[in-house]
Structures are given as C-alpha cells and as structure tokens.
Structure 1
Amino acid sequence: MKLSEEKKALLSTILCLIFMIIGFILEKSGTVFYPISFILAIFFGGFKQTKEGIVDTFENKHLNVDLLMALAAIGACIIGNWFEGAMLTFIFCLSSALEEYTTNKSKKEIASLMNMQPETALLLDDQGKTTDVTVTQLQIGDRLLVPKGARIPIDGILIKGSSTIDEAAITGESVPVEKGINDELFGGTINLGEAITMTVNKNSEDTLFAKIIRLVEEAQNTPSQTASFIEKLENTYVKIVLVAIPMMIIIPFVFLGWSWNESFYRGMVLLVVASPCALVASATPATLAAISNGARNGVLFKGGAYLENLASLKAIAFDKTGTLTLGVPVVTDAIFLKNKQESLNILLAMERQSTHPLAQAIITRFEHENTAVYDQIEVKNIIGFGMETTIGATTWRVGKSAFNEYTTISKELEIEIEQLQNAGKTVIYLFQDQEIVAYFGLLDVPKPEAKEVITYFKQSGIHTTMITGDHEKTATAVAAELEVDDIYADCLPEDKTILVKKQKAMYGINAMVGDGINDAPALANAAIGVAMGQGTDIAMDVADMVLMKNDLKKLQMSHLLSKKLKRIVTQNIAFSAGVIAILILSNFFQIINLPLGVVGHEGSTIFVILNGLRMLKTIPIEKKSLQPFHTQKTELV
C-alpha cells in the first residue's frame, strides 16, 4: 500500500526521533559506534527536506531553510556534536510534517460538492414521454419533468404545476419555498411536492451550483500574502547565512591572523548557532499548544496561520440561519381566538401528518399540552397553502392566509397580524370553515449566546455584519435584536462571496462564519473561514476553522486564544533572535566555545518551547453584562 505524503512525513519524524534517542543512549554508555545512529536519524529525518532543498535550488533558483538545516546538521557533525545535528534535524522534520498535514489537504470538498449535483435529468418530448439524459446534454429551452422528492437537475423556470422546494443547498434557509408558474428553480435543490415541469434557462456550466464549485476552487488556488512573504524571507535568510559562513572562516584566517583550525572551528560554531532552530520553535510549539487547547474546547483549526491571523481580525460576517440563529423555526406567538382545546386537538392531529419544518415547530411548541388524539383523521395536502381535513360537517384548514381568500378579518386582527409580519415572523392560520380561530407567529430565533458574542466583537473594535439569503423583514428583526453593524438580506452565494471579498479588501483580515453549502464560496474567500460543526460537509471542508459544538462562544474564546498566541510568539521571536545575535557576536569575538554555543542555542530553544506551552492553559471568557434574549410566547384565548 502506497503511503500518502502526510504519512511519509510522520514516519520520517518518528524514525528520526527513535534513532536520535538510541544514539543518545549509546553515546552516554560509551559505545564507539553511536555516530551511526545519529547519522541514521539525520538521514531519515532530513532526506526529504534536503532533496527538496537541492531541487528547489537548481530548478527554481530559490534557496530555502531546508538546505540550510541540512548544512547545519552536517556542520554540527563535522565539529563532533552528533546529537546537536540530529536534534536540529528532528525539530525541522517535525515542523515539516505538521506543515504537510495542515497545508496539503486533498480537494475532497470539491468532489463531495459535485456529487450533490444531479448527473441525469428526465427530458420531456412533444408527446409527453420522458428520456433519461445526462445534465451536460441539456440545452436552453429543453423541458424537464422533476418527480416528487427528486433533485432539480439544472437551473430553469417552472412552467407547469406548483410545489414546495427545499432550497437549503443554495440559500441555507431552513423553511422550504413555495414555487408557482414562472418562478425560478435552482439545480441541486429538492422538489418536496408533487411532480412539476420546468424549462432549462442555463447551461450546466453556468448554474448556481457550478458557480459555487468554481468560486471554491478559485479561492483555494490563490496563495495568501503570508505564504508569499515567508517564501521571500526564507530565501533572503538562507543567502545571508550561506554567505556569512565562508566569510567567518576566511576573513579571520586571512586578515586577523587566526589559525585555520580556529577559523574553521568558528565557522562551524556559527553554522550551528545561526541555524533557525530557536526561531522555528518560537512559533511551532506555541501554535500546537494553542491548536490542542482549541480542540479540547471544541474548536478545530486547520493551520496555525489561521489561528495567528485571528488576532488581527478587523471585520467578521455571519450567516443567519443555523449560525446566529437556531436554524429551525420556533413558535413565538400563539393566539387562540375561540375554542382553544378543540382547535389545539385538531391542529396537532393535522400537523403530526406533515414533515414540514413549520409543522414540526408547532408540534414542538404544544407537544406537552393535554390533547385528544384523532386516529382516523384524513388530511389533504394543498400545495402552496397547507392542509385541510373534514370532521363531521366542519372543514378545518391550517396554512397561509391565502388559504381562504373569502375570510373576513377585522381591522384590529389585521393590525395584530401585520405587527407579527413586520417583526419578520411567518404567520400560520387555523381556519374553522370560513373563520380564523387561531394564528401563530414563527421565527428562527437567535441563539442564546449570539448577542453576547456580537457585543464582544464590537467592543473589540471588530466590524460585525449579518449576510443571509432570508427575506429582509426576517433578517432585520434578527439583526435588530443582535445589534450587528450591517445587514445584507436576500443574498445568493455569489452575493455573499462578493460582500466578503469587499470586506477583505477594505479591512485586510476578515472572517466569514457559516454552516451551509451556500456559504462555502464566502468561507473560502474570507481571510478566515469559520464553519459550524453541525453544518454541511462542504462548509466544514473549505473553512479554515470549525466550531465543532456549534457554540458561538467558542469563536470568542478562539479570538482570545489567538491574541494570547500572538503575544507569546512575539516574545519568543524577540528572545530567540536576540540570543542568536548575541551568540553570533560572542563567537566572532571568541568569547564562547562550541559547548557554550550549544547550551545557549538549545537553552533558548527550550525556553521558547516552555513559554509556548503556556498556550495549553484554558482561556477564560469574560462574561458581559447583557440582557438575555427571551423568545416572546404570547398565548391568548
């Protein structure tokens, strides 16, 4: 079985560590063959990096730390410090293995997204017969049959029938949308109602689903500014060190009267003390500790760079449904105008025969009520409106107000209903023949911790935005409760991506928080993409960090963790760079010998590692003095 690159890197690191430990034990026991074990450690740990460094140097004319670390290990061995050479190799090998794991991700998210896109469609001819064809064969103007429960194969217009469409894959909204004649349909969404007929209005490569795939691919193939900066810095650093080593050997020998042995000795000491071992350890252990801390607290970071960048966050955008809100509608208002017990009995009997999210919300709201059970009730679904049943001589209906256009509504009742609608709530009615006997307001309410988290980011000077595919009234109601800085409603995936790109250009480091397929392009284009753990696989795959427990407070904790990491890494870099500078100067003035150089070099490495391990400590979340969000539950009889 062929090993993946990640497994190869891990195996090399383990072998390097094993042979390094064996060599250390053999050296302490006085065995003369101990260098062989250290050579094996350096070989297994440094072969891949050294090979890549040589190839990069000759093919791309680019010098990197891989080559410098190989020379440092060889230099340590030349002056007789075998353990030092193996240790340098091990630390760098470990860093490379972690980089391999975090940066060389497979693009399985693209494959999984494409698997959700239908491959075939039922093409209708003039005689009404259907033919199973591939989606790529479809042309604009073709007529298609979409059976009940099937995915809509391609973007188009509904020309026959009406249905309820689950557009969660596109808009991310939990409530299905009613579609009628001439309404637009999107490929990848699901037909929950009866069979419909549609006409194709876009080619397969131009559908909304196809755009999502392209946007994700484009974002993933664009290198970050940080990656480009590190590459340039690495090249410069290696050149400086490689030039300094021969100068350290030749100049004192020729101009200062040093012996050749002393000059060469000082050159080898410089090669050891100038190696970036402590600088590498300045960030890696601290970052690993922070990532472990996050994982322990339910936050998955896909790389240290994203955790570090979070400290410099200037703007954050949230999807609404499932991110800031619970993701399912909740009955916030229940008003019974007459016959409450009888109305409730029949209402639940009807709703229990539906899987619609609104029906489930009503069942959840009243499931603990004492109600009579109607075993033999027959319910008829009326697409686009709701359900109806007849008990005795009375017809009961539950659904939208358009269910019975002849019902007379008093001015007072009309005002009360309008108030609910203006608050962004979906209003459902229960009819007894021609009379409204009850009505209910439903809303996807904010999560309990949402306002506290929004307040934290605002107080931290970070611009907050809510971007949603939901309607403006509903979005405005939620945004007003949470007090976000900006709100954008009725957004498709492409709109969300454009907004996130604009914020990235304006603020630099920005974040997007979402949970749906529709959020994937925006997550991929943000400087930091944050996915909710209970969201879709594609959102979690393209995101840079995942809140595994769907708890927004973990996002606040992550920001605090990142700021602490930034402080510690800054301390480590300043300390390690200072030590290296002192060691280099001390070596030039012949103040230190090799053992002291090793002690200073390794001592600084141990210090920054221990300082970095402080990131394992749990970050306390300061509680704000906020009024908790209360769901309004009005119940009048």
Structure 2
Amino acid sequence: MMAEHTCQHDHTKTEGHSHTHDHGTLPRNIYFVGLLLFILALFVPNQWVKDGFYFAAVLLAGYHISWEGIEDTIKSTRANRRFTPNVHLLMLLAAIGSMVIGNFNEAALLILIFAGAHFLEEYAEGQSRREITNLLKLNPTEARLVGPDGKAKKIAASEIKKGDILQVLPGDQLATDGVILSGTSAINEASINGESIPREKTTGDEVYGSTINGNGTFLMEVTKDSSETVFAKILSVVEAAQSNQSPTETRIKKIEPIYVTVVFIAVPLFILTAPFLFGWDWYTSFYRGIVMMIAASPCALAASAVPASLSAISNLAKKGILFKGSNYLTNFAQIKAVAFDKTGTLTVGKPTVTEAVFADTIDRAEAAAVIVSMEKQANHPLAD
C-alpha cells in the first residue's frame, strides 16, 4: 500500500514556508550523493545492505529540509504564539514513521522527491532573480550636469534634482525623465515601451530615463527625481512580482498550517482508537496510521498551482518576458482573445530595403546615388 504512494511532494513558499534559506552548492551535492545511493540500493540483493543504502539516502538528501522544518516551525510558533507546523515537519515524521515500520525504500523516495522539489524551486527562483538583476543593470548611473558657466560635468544619477539642466551626447543613456530644451535626436525607447525603432525628439518633447540617445546632442531639463522615473516604476513593479501570488497559492498558504496541524492530531487519534473501533492489533493500527500520514500530505493541492506558476514564470524570465506575478499568469485561463502590438512583437522592428522601383524614364544608377547621398545626411532609422 505504501509503495503505491508516488505523489510528488513539493514544498514552496506558498505553503507557508518562507523560502529565505541560501543553501549553497554543498547541500545540493550531498542530495545527489543520496540520490545515487538510492539508485544503487535498487540493484543490491542483500536486504540489510539495501536498507542501509536507503537510510543513508534519507540522511543525506533530507537533513537540510528536516532542519528547516524544525527551525521554521519553532519560529512560526513563537511568532504566532500557537503551534504552527509546516509541510517540512509533516514529511520528516512521515519518513521516520515509514522507517519504523520497515519501509526504508518508501522513506527514501518521499525525502528524495520532496528535497528534489525544494532544489528545483530554488533554481527556478534563482532564474527569475538573475533576470531581475539584468534588468537593474539598465538603470542609469551617471549624467552630465550643465553648470551656471555652461560647462558640463559628470555626476551620479542619484544626485540629480528637479530643475537641473543635463547635456545628452550621442549614445548616452538618459539618466532621468525630462523635457528637451534645445536640440533634436532619435531616441531608442525600447526599455520603456518595447518599440525597437527610435523616436524623433525635438524641443519641448518629453524624454525618459534609461532610454538611449541616437546621433543627436541636446539639452534637457529634469522633471523627475531618479526614483520617480517611468523606468523606476517599472523596476518596482517587477520586484513586487516576486511576492505576488495567485488566489490559489494564497489560499494554500493560509490553510497549510491548519491542514498539517489537523493531520498531526488525526493520525495519533486514529492509531489509538482503531484497535477499539475496528478490532485491529496495535501494529496494524500503527502501520495504517503511518500510511494515512503519508497519503494525507498536501502534494496534490500544492502541485495543482504552485509548481506550474513557478516554472512558467522562470521559463518566461529566461526568454526575456517579465511577468508581474503568478496572479497575472493565471489570468491566461480566462483569455478569449489576444491583441498583439505589431512592431517588436510580431515583427522584428528593424526596417530593411526589400525592393526599389524606378520609373522607366529615370536612370536607376544615377537616381540611387542621389537618394543615398541625401539619406546620408539624416539620422532617421529609415535613412540608415
């Protein structure tokens, strides 16, 4: 009966466990040693040696999640001033109970699946964090401040104040939002609006921090502090996405401590009353109570929403798509129609000359030479 229970147990921060532990590579390496011992045990004929390998797999693969289960339960209990267990502790006791009744292979399998899901979650979160870090690198760090004498000097972006006059040279990254006072240029605003073709800007036009200036030079007046720019707001939204949860995940987080507590109460109660209610012996009652504890682990509930959202967000982040959070991801289930922005989404957004048509009365080579010489004087993307 126990060997049939192969439901994948996943632990996530949405199950009431705040995933703030940094394990490093050592626990992961030890986990793989435990996994190797489990695989070797499958081919060992001697039962005592086989069980020894399974027991070693439990210790090596599960020591870190076991410690976290105990540590987090103590912290949560103190903070809430009532017993607040988490799924780590439930899995630990289920594995111990499995070994007590002689099912070392089941104990090792449970711990390996649970700990494996633990590391997979950590990996997925790491992928998202790396993409956020790459986005933060786009945040400008310096600017050219024009002083009263008309000379420009470099200052840190954090020192910029509203009303300052900044000089922007060709290829510069704009340090903050503002308005052009003099000059014209084509500015790449892909970091703000995703549009890959630069936009022509002239006196009076609004410009945005983190965008890239083209070939022109202009002066701009700062209208916002670096912390109030459009790009800064984008960063804050993206960072907030890390804690954003879907309604299902939120419900799981709320009911998980209650659920685990009920299991902890129900299993001993079942073991103690079963001999009197069903006439079982104590061994049968204990055995089936442990089976009940393992089967009662909330794997199906967790696997229904949490791993799917986590893996989807991580995979999207790897491909450069940043979601506001799993709450928005789950909205895709209700989508009836999709409207796409053409440029940069369905098309590359980089114009190329595909065909040139001339009237029969025009010399093709002469006309082409005139057109090229004219366009060389412009810095418009189509001119390039």
Cα distance in 1 for residues equivalent to 2:108 and 2:220: 68
Q: Is the 8 A contact 1:121 1:153 kept in 2?
A: yes
Q: Is the contact made by 1:6 and 1:97 (CA closer than 8 Å) also made in structure 2? A: no
Q: How does 1:518-537 map to 2 (within 5 A)?
A: none
- Equivalent position of 1:41 in the other structure: 57
Over the aligned positions, Cα root-mean-square deviation in angstroms equals 3.9
C-alpha spacing 1:94/1:138, structure 2 compared with 1 (3 Å):
closer
2:79 aligned with 1:54: no
Q: Specify the code of the residue in structure 2 equivalent to 1:102.
A: A
Pair 168,252 (structure 1): closer, same or farther in 2 beyond 3 Å: closer
Deviation at 1:330, TM superposition (A): 5.3
- Equivalent position of 2:177 in the other structure: 155
Deviation at 1:317, TM superposition (A): 5.2
Partner of residue 224, structure 1: 246
Separation in 2 of the partners of 1:261 and 1:74?
Answer: 16
Question: CA shift at 1:331, angstroms?
Answer: 5.8
Partner of 2:3: none
- Find the residue that maps to 1:359 and give its secondary structure: coil
Aligned sequence identity (%): 36
Structure 1 pair 20–302 and aligned structure 2 pair: CA distance change class (3 A): farther
Q: 2:31 touches 2:62 (CA, 8 Å); kept in 1?
A: no
Give the distance between the partners of 1:87 and 1:346, measured in 2 at CA: 76
CA separation in 2, counterparts of 1:215 and 1:157? 24
Q: How does 1:134-149 map to 2 (within 5 A)?
A: 134-149=156-171
Is 1:359 equivalent to 2:383 in the alignment?
yes
Question: Given the alignment of the two structures, is residue 347 of structure 1 paired with residue 375 of structure 2, yes or no?
Answer: no
The equivalent position to 2:335 in structure 1, one of 290, 307, 314, is 314
1:179 maps to what in 2?
A: 201
Question: CA-to-partner distance for each residue in 1:206-238, whole Å, 9 max, x for gaps?
Answer: 222222222222233323323222223433443
Question: Does structure 1 residue 168 correspond to structure 2 residue 190?
Answer: yes
- The AA in structure 1 aligned to 2:46 is S
Partner Cα separation in structure 2 for residue 334 and residue 113 of structure 1: 40
SS in 2 for 1:198: strand
Q: Which secondary structure state, in structure 1, belongs to the residue aligned with residue 261 of structure 2?
A: helix
Rate the CA distance shift 1:308–1:358 in 2: closer, same or farther, 3 A: closer
Cα shift at 1:356? 4.5
Q: Does structure 2 retain, via aligned residues, the 8 Å contact 1:9–1:100?
A: no
The residue that corresponds to 1:23 in the other structure is: 41
The CA deviation at 1:248 is 2.2
2:35 partner letter: L
Which residue number corresponds to residue 285 of structure 2? 263
> Superposed, which structure 2 residues align to 1:351-390 within 5 Å?
351=375, 356-360=380-384
1:265 to 1:133, Cα distance in 2 relative to 1, 3 A: closer
Partner secondary structure for residue 163 of structure 2: coil
2:13 corresponds to: none
Q: In 2, Cα distance between the equivalents of 1:257 and 1:70?
A: 29
Structure 1 pair 20/283, CA: closer, same or farther in 2 (3 Å)? farther
Within 5 A, what are the aligned runs for 1:95-494?
Answer: 95-105=117-127, 107-275=129-297, 279=300, 309=330, 312-314=333-335, 316=338, 318-329=340-351, 336=358, 339=362, 341=364, 342-348=366-372, 350-351=374-375, 356-360=380-384
- Whole-Å Cα distance in 1 between the matches of residues 321 and 202 of structure 2? 44
Judge conservation of contact 2:142–2:154 (CA < 8 Å) in 1: yes
Q: Which has the higher contact order (CA 8 A, sep 6+)?
A: 2
Match of 2:14 in 1: none
Q: CA deviation at 1:185?
A: 2.2
Identify the structure with the greater strand proportion.
1
CA 1:146/1:265 → structure 2, altered by over 3 Å: closer, same or farther? closer
Equivalent residue number for residue 473 of structure 1: none
Cα 1:282/1:218, change in 2 over 3 Å: closer
Equivalent AA in structure 2 for residue 40 of structure 1 = A
- Between the aligned partners of 2:377 and 2:23, the Cα distance in structure 1 is 52
| 8 Å CA contact retained: 1:187, 1:208 | yes
Amino acid of the structure 2 residue aligned with 1:346 = V
TM-score, reference length from structure 1:
0.48
Are 2:85 and 2:260, in contact at CA under 8 Å, matched by a contact in 1?
A: yes
Distance 1:152 1:249, change over 3 A: closer
Give 3-state SS (helix, strand or coil) of 1:157's partner.
Answer: strand
CA deviation string 1:86-143 (max 9, x = no partner): 1121122222222222235463444433433332222222322222222222222222
Change beyond 3 A, Cα 1:102–1:257: same
What residue ranges of structure 1 are gaps of 5+ in the alignment? 361-637
Per-residue Cα deviation, 1:303-359 (whole angstroms, up to 9, x for no partner): 9x7999487242545343211223123568966566251322322455478775313
Match of 2:5 in 1: none
Residue 154 and residue 22 in structure 1: after superposition, are their counterparts in 2 closer, same or farther (change >3 A)?
same
Are residues 1:75 and 2:97 paired?
Answer: yes
Distance 1:153 1:169 in 2: 13
Query: Which stretch of structure 1 is more off in the superposition, 332-341 or 53-62?
Result: 332-341
Please tell me whether the aligned partners of residues 176 and 209 of structure 2 are also in contact (alpha carbons under 8 angstroms).
Answer: yes
- State the aligned residue count: 348
* C-alpha deviation, 1:160, in angstroms: 2.2
Superposition deviation, residue 77 in structure 1: 0.9
Distance (whole Å) between structure 2 residues aligned to residue 330 and residue 352 of structure 1 = 15
The secondary structure found in structure 2 opposite 1:132 is strand
Deviations 1:545-569 (A, max 9, x none): xxxxxxxxxxxxxxxxxxxxxxxxx
Matching residue's letter, 1:339 = I
